[in-house]
Amino acid sequence: MRFEDVHNVTMIGAGTMGAGMGVCYAQAGYQVTLYDVVADSLEQALVRIDNSQRVFVEEGLIPEAEAQAARARISTTSDLARALDGVQFVLEAAPERIELKQELFRDMEALCPADTILATNTSGLSITAIASACEHPERVGGQHWANPAEIVPLVEVIRGEQTSDNTIDVIYRITEKLGKVPVVVQKDVPGFASNRLQFAVLREALHLVNEGIVSAQDADKTLKNGVGFRYPWLGPLETADLGGLTTFHSVAQYLLPALSTMQKTPEFFDRLIEEGKLGIGSGEGFYDYTDCDRDEILRKRDLYFIRQLKLLREIQSL
């Protein structure tokens, strides 16, 4: 499959990620089919797409005519064979269960044309293990997005042990066409790159709270208003370069041994799970959301991300 030959794209799974990724493909000019076994999920996906596009238009990221044209390129189905008929590129966004994904990829390969590229949006499951269900694992690669998919620029392009150079090239070039920022993960390691960095920070934050060094709220404030304030423009290695490697190297000698190396979650985190305090969806997690409007919190999050995206694009164009 050549990059130039990809015109029809299918999303396997029409949840939050499937809908967000689907609208990005449609806005880039691809004909998109959203597939899900649950009809209600397809209807909810279209509502989410409409809401997302409305915000993008209001914020001036896309014109109304472009949004309408993209929406016209999206169709839905609960028939897998129909979803994969004549498709050149498939992106799977099913629940994170390896057996389910392997079964899907086995079926997808059997129903797709012989040269179709099969990609997975798994957050950390092995690309190699998923591809092992296929007769042609060289056509399988990872395309891992972050939530909300239609806003966050990063997309990881992950190579399984048998993924071909051509498959990586096609996924990478498609990602660029979508207006995203592709990063190639050359080794199929757990968590890839983005989640390894995210969970390294989470581990230290959990350690700081568990040891009574700072509260959960102050751990978040520290990152958002300090290091995290810089991260949209400067990564950790750029920050070290600009700050001076001698200083960072010196600090690393005494600080790295003091950082958390915990290999399992601390008890206070386990208790939250046991007590059903699972985050915003249950009304409580590290924070109490009892008197909060969940939709308003997510709306403000997305609006902040959109404004940040606009600023990044403005700076990058200078």
The DSSP bridge pattern shows strands 154-158 and 140-145 to be antiparallel
Q: Domain coordinates of the chain in residue numbers?
A: 3-185, 194-316
Q: What are phi and psi of 275, to 5 degrees?
A: -85, 5
- For residue 118, the cross-strand partners are 90, 140
Average pLDDT of the chain is 96
Nearest residue to 174 (alpha-carbon basis) of 155, 198, 147, 193: 155
The reply to whether 194-316 shares the fold of 3-185 is no
Cβ atoms of 122 and 96 within 8 Å: the answer is yes
86-108 average pLDDT score: 97
For the segment 192-232, what is each residue's pLDDT rounded down to a tens digit? 999 999 999 999 999 999 999 999 999 999 999 999 999 99
Which CATH code, of 3.20.20.70, 3.30.70.890, 3.30.830.10, 1.10.1040.10, is assigned to 194-316?
1.10.1040.10
Beta-strand ranges (E) seen in the chain are 8-12, 31-35, 74-77, 89-92, 117-120, 140-145, 154-158, 181-185
Q: Rounded to two decimals, what is the model's pTM? A: 0.94
Q: Which residues are catalytic?
A: 123, 144, 156, 195
**Which amino acid type is present at position 149?**
A
Give the number of other Cβ atoms within 10 Å of residue 39's Cβ.
Answer: 12
For the segment 142-178, what is each residue's pLDDT rounded down to a tens digit? 999 999 999 999 999 999 999 999 999 999 999 999 9
One DSSP character per residue, 219-270 reads HHHHIIIIIHHHTTT--HHHHHHHH-HHHHHHHHHHHGGGS---SS--HHHH
Q: Which CATH superfamily, name and number, covers 3-185?
A: NAD(P)-binding Rossmann-like Domain (3.40.50.720)
- For residue 76, the cross-strand partners are 34
pLDDT at 318: 83
Residues 140-150 as b/e (b if ≥16 CB within 10 A, e otherwise) read bbbbbbbebbb
Is residue 116's pLDDT more than 90? yes
DSSP label at residue 157: E
